[in-house]
Amino acid sequence: MAFFFLRPTNEASCSRVCVISPSLRHRKCLCPSLFTFSSQEILMNAVSLQVNVSNLVHNMRFSFTNSVNVLSEMMQNARRAGATEVRFSYTEDGTLVVIDNGTGIEDFQKLLTLSESGWDAQLVAREQAFGQGFFSALHSGKHVTVESRGRQIAFATETALSFGSIAVVPSDFIGGTRITIQGMTLPKPEVANALNRFAKGFSIAVVFNDKPLERPHALAALATVETAIGPIHVVGYHNDHPQLVRGMTVYLQGLPIYQSGMSWDVHNVVHLDSTQFAARMPDRTQLINETAAACRIEAALRTEQEKILTAHKGEMGNEAFAEKYWHMLPELGLSSMLLDIPYLPKCALHYAPEPVLADDWRFMREVESGVTRQSVEAGQHVLCLGSPSEESIAAHMLAYKKHWMVVSNLPAGHWAEQYQIDLYERADDVVFTLNGVDGQAQTFNGLYLDATVRFCDSVTLSLDQHSVTFDDEAVFHSSGEVAIPGNASGAGAVMQACSYIADNEEFQEADRDTDDQHLQALVALHRTKDLSAIVRMLLSQGGAYRFDALRGHAFNVVVDDRGELTVTSV
């Protein structure tokens, strides 16, 4: 119950409040003599909901998402009137004519009465046909003529919007309904594109300028499965598409209402049950509570796809199923179907790549076959994860040399998670051993890389029970050292230590090549007694042979103890 709270007329005399019910049947105050009021005065201060009808009707033009929605409203009215076809024609002067073969209009007044649809109660309840859509026509052109059952109304839209009287007069049109809107400003291509889009899933034939429009998503054209939300056409099951897909095109009462996925992709088609889903009024271009509705629709589609895939799983067997669907199931939101399969398919695996810090230079090597859970648990195959970094390069070199495997698209909760070695987290546990160190170290100063070069017979990397020893590849250590085994030239080592990505995010290939060549020259200089061979290599790498002016000339080159050059002609 609501109450009025009145102040005393003499606040100095009484601080109490008088409480009176709106019906004036209840009053409580210890000092009633201090108040002066009447029921008429109370009612004069009351408020109630009212509608400024003129402003409401004029402002409805802002409620329609865009000007082409008048076309979809004409289509819906034709379908609701029992038509089997609706025909549109549009001329360059902005005249739209819409003809349907439905039951026609019984009461023109209801057509022009806001929220008075004229449809029967069952249709109103089923489709929320509340009598607002035709008002889009009043905001689409300058003049409207509506003909049906041998009668017509013709009026300037301003007359209707100003609540002027409109006469109902005889017409020679006897069919269902013909609506003519003049003075529209829509470009003809825009009308054509909108009608093609609206007709795609519509239940009755749509014709534009004497050309029937295609309706590939109409229920009559599709194989579907009945679901809790309405019929669904599942791509990859109801048609010959090679695989299931996640994207959806959703229709409500035959008109597009929602889409997920890229517009150019193949989509599943959903026709919603209009008793469960409603569109935002008045133009019905968006579902009410769209986010929640979309989640519900996606769940229904996912349920149907899971049924299909469960049947395939039983027919194909676990390993073949995993090979075929490993990468598809995460896209469909059905990764959980892989959790009980004790097998990692070949398509999910690749060998740990050569450890370099530039992503674009990592080459993925395919494995020969999938692996079983039993072989992983027995240690016959080792799984790893992580991207190479300066701190973890040695761990990645170990994984690379031992042919450990990386799993892609591993679902959360999969049994393989517990067997993956995180190479970044375990980087500090890798033992880096130089075998047969010759005691000498060289300092390398490159364009991008500064490091200490250590020479040895071989390098051993160990992690837990895993170890590998090699003598033909250089290995960078996070301490800033590059180990050069006896049979290694140093080629490629600089990429283990530096990405050669400049501030502009571009790979500096020339700088990488220069550092790589200079490191190899340093290694060669350390190992050879033929110093002239080193000079020849450096001059060749520097491109001296490219200069014609140098050909046929001899030079005396002196390198002093500070590394500075003196060059004189001979």
Q: pLDDT tens digits, residue range 467-512?
A: 999 899 999 988 889 999 999 998 888 988 888 888 888 888 899 9
User: What DSSP character marks residue 318?
Assistant: H
For CA atoms 151, 156, 157, 161, the dihedral sign is negative
From the CB of residue 30, how many other CB atoms can be counted at a distance below 10 Å?
Answer: 8
Check residues 99 and 362 and name the one with the higher pLDDT: 99
Span 194-221, pLDDT tens digits: 999 999 999 999 999 999 999 999 999 9
The predicted pLDDT at position 11 comes to 45
| Of 175, 168, 174, nearest in space to 145 by CA | 168
Q: What is the pLDDT of residue 118?
A: 47
Lookup result for tokens 């998503």: 217
User: What is the predicted pLDDT for the residue at 437?
Assistant: 84
| Residue 351 to residue 366: CA distance in whole angstroms | 6
Q: Which of 285, 213, 212 is nearest to 253 (CA)?
A: 285
**Residue 284 has what pLDDT?**
65
Could you say which DSSP state residue 498 is in?
-
Element containing residue 331 per DSSP (H, E): helix 328-332
Contact 146, 153 (CB under 8 A): yes
Give residue 257's pLDDT band: very low, low, confident or very high (50, 70, 90): very high
The helix (H) or strand (E) run that includes residue 69 is: helix 69-80
Q: Would you state the torsion angle of the CA atoms of residues 206, 211, 217, 218, taken in this order, to the nearest 10 degrees?
A: 40
Select from 349, 367, 343 the least CA-distant residue to 415: 343
Evaluate whether 495 touches 356 at the Cβ level (below 8 Å): yes
Say how far apart CA 284 and CA 290 lie, in whole Å.
12
Q: DSSP 3-state assignment of 320?
A: helix
Under 8 Å between Cβ of 337 and 313: yes
- What is the token pair recorded at 541? 């790498």
In three-state secondary structure terms, 300 is: helix
Of 212, 191, 174, 195, the closest CA to residue 84 belongs to 212
Burial class (CB in 10 A: 0-12, 13-18, 19+), 402: middle
Cβ atoms of residues 556 and 570 within 8 Å: yes
Distant-in-sequence, close-in-space partners of 272: CB < 8 Å, separation ≥ 6: 229, 230, 250, 251, 252, 257, 297
pTM of the model: 0.74
Supply the pLDDT for residue 43.
Answer: 58
Look at residues 365, 353, 435, 362 and name the one whose alpha carbon lies nearest to residue 396.
353
How far, in Å, CA of 432 to CA of 437, rounded? Answer: 13
Tell me if 83 sits within 8 A of 176, measured CB to CB: yes
**Is residue 337 within 8 Å of 413, Cβ to Cβ?**
no
Distance of alpha carbon 60 from alpha carbon 115, whole angstroms: 12
User: What share of residues in the chain are helix, strand, coil (percent, to 5)?
Assistant: 30, 25, 45
| Residue of 375, 475, 390, 456 lying closest to 427 (CA atoms) | 390
Cα angle, residue 120 at apex, residues 258 and 174 outer, rounded to 5°: 95
Question: pLDDT exceeding 70 applies to what percent of the chain?
Answer: 82
Neighbours of 262 (CB within 10 A): 9
413 or 140, which is more confident: 413
Q: How confident is the model at residue 423 (pLDDT cuts 50, 70, 90)?
A: very high
Winning range, highest mean pLDDT, from 34-43, 123-132, 317-326: 317-326
Half-sphere exposure of 540 (CA within 13 A, CB side): 8
Instruction: Give CA 91 to chain center in angstroms.
Output: 39
